[in-house]
Amino acid sequence: MGSLRPIMHYLAWVMVISIALYTSPSVSAVDIDDFGQPAGTITIPKEITHVEIQDAIISALVHRQWNIKSRNENQIVGYIKQRKNEATVTFIYTSNKIDMYCVGWRINPDTGQRVKPEQPAMWLNFLRNEIIRVFDRLVTTK
């Protein structure tokens, strides 16, 4: 029974993500000039499907309390403004890889005003690691 708990937890997340993905309005993604700086690349295992890629990205964003700003067939954009950081992350993906781009700002927590450009490196690493963790779980259960 203990071995079913991680699978049930994963399936619950997939259901939440699927509902968010399929019930949220489809909005055009960010223009290419607005992507920001490269923030990393994730190699996708060959066993992972297109829908699983989308679900993994959305799951990571939701789990880390980012908002889904827009999405389309090969691109998902997330946004967060919290404490001293504001950031927009764009995931552009194919069947082989996910490229991450980010526009980030250090903000004044009292006024909410942008102070200077700054990438939230730790937050981006959390997102990247969360997506990789989902892929690892998917590959081991196939």
Distances (CA, A) of 41 to 37, 52, 82: 12, 17, 24
Domains of the chain: 4-141 (3.30.310)
Residues 26, 23: Cα–Cα separation, whole Å: 9
Tens of each residue's pLDDT in the chain, 142 residues? 455 555 545 544 444 444 443 434 333 344 445 789 999 999 999 999 999 999 999 999 999 999 999 999 999 999 999 989 999 999 999 999 999 999 999 999 899 899 999 999 999 999 999 999 999 999 999 7
